[in-house]
Chains A and B, each alone.
Chain A
Amino acid sequence: MRRPVTALVAGLVFGVGLVLSGMTDPRNVVAFLDVFGRFGQWSPNLAAVMVGAIAVHLVSLRVLGARDARLRVAVERGPLFDGRLIGGAAVFGAGWGLAGYCPGPAIVSLGLGSVSAWGFVAAMIVGVLLGERAARRGVGTADPRPGLPAC
């Protein structure tokens, strides 16, 4: 009973955080990536979102992990980078810059009634299935997430 509830609550809180931060509006994301101010004034807000998120998550993981060994994060295994990681991240970044959407905000935006979000998510699902196949076929070298727990 507890696990379904925490999963739902986690998704809700995550989604509320995304809406509050303004990052569900792709224009705000592009405003951050537009460091050269080509489309308008540059905005540092996305960096503030990441700083807020990492500050809370990193510190809470450390504090909780110190008290309970089961919550501790294991040391990373595998090489620092490989073809898959770099190639995948590069392609993701290109798509992100193009539409200002990444998976989380796009899915929340389905609930915000954005027509664009529906098109993006449909295409994203196609991309995910293709990407999963590529990841399984040994494109690049190692497992993109060696030794990590599931998402």
Chain B
Amino acid sequence: MLKSLLGGALIGAAATIYWVGNGRVAGVSGVLAGALRGRAGRDERVLFLVGLVTAGVVATLVQGARDAATQAAAPLLLAGVLVGFGTRLGGGCTSGHGVCGLSRLQGRSLVATLVFMATGVLTVLLLSLVAPQWSVR
């Protein structure tokens, strides 16, 4: 629980760094989409993404490889498409709406967060009932 709070605190701090340093909202789906579509200020977005991946690499070097979660290809790839599509149609993800939007007191982000939490919960329930073999292990 403490690690969760501390990890969250770092995420919040990072979002503030990005706002103060770059004037941008730390919504990863938006950063990714902007980088892919070559929008103005591409360098900053690419560097943010590089920072994310580098953090992963450093973590592996420090703590060693962990036993990774696995999942069947079909649900994994379907999930990827749904996440990519849904975050762009809805204008944000857990960082964009959940962390930044709520911190910025945006009503739309509250609505979005409640909706994606609800469908997330329902999807896990549905999966357990109709296709548990598709779950993450």
A: residues with CB less than 8 A from B are 2-27, 30, 33-36, 38-39, 44-46, 48-58, 60-61, 64, 71, 73, 76, 78-81, 84-104, 106-116, 119-132, 134-135, 139-140, 143-146, 148-151
Q: Is the CB of B88 within 8 A of A126?
A: no
- Of the listed residues A45, A90, A113, the one surrounded by the most CB atoms of chain B closer than 10 A to its CB is A90
Per-residue contact bits, chain B 96-137, to A (CB 8 Å; 1 contact, 0 not): 111110111111100111011111111111011100101111
Compute how far the CA of A2 lies from the CA of B17 in the bound complex, rounded to whole angstroms: 12
**Which of A48, A124, A149 contacts B83, CB < 8 Å?**
A124
- Whether B47 contacts A7 by the Cβ 8 Å rule is yes
With contacts A10-B26, A11-B55, A111-B53 taken as known, whether A126 is within 8 angstroms of B47 at the C-beta atoms is no
Q: In the complex, which residue of chain A has the Cβ closest to the Cβ of B77?
A: A123
The residue in chain A whose Cβ has the minimal distance to the Cβ of B78 is: A98
**Chain A interface mostly:** helix
Query: What secondary structure prevails in chain B residues at the interface with A?
Result: helix
Given contacts A50-B8, A96-B120, A135-B88, contact A115 B68 (CB under 8 A): yes
The answer to whether B21 and A6 have CB atoms under 8 Å apart is yes
Residue of A nearest to B75 (CB): A98
Query: Are A108 and B116 interface neighbours, CB within 8 A?
Result: no
Q: B102: which A residues are within 8 A, CB to CB? A: 54, 58
Give the size range of B's interface with the partner: 35 or more
Question: Is there an interface contact between B82 and A91, defined as CB atoms closer than 8 Å?
Answer: yes
- Once the chains bind, are B77 and A119 in contact (CB under 8 Å)? yes
A83's nearest neighbour on chain B, judged by CB, is B89
Q: A7-B21, A15-B55, A96-B116 are in contact. Are A128 and B88 (CB under 8 A)?
A: yes
In Å, the complex CA distance between A11 and B32 comes to 12
The docked-state distance in angstroms from the alpha carbon of A81 to that of B66 is: 41
Assuming the A-B contacts A84-B91, A114-B68, are A127 and B85 also in contact, with contact meaning beta carbons closer than 8 angstroms in the complex? Answer: yes
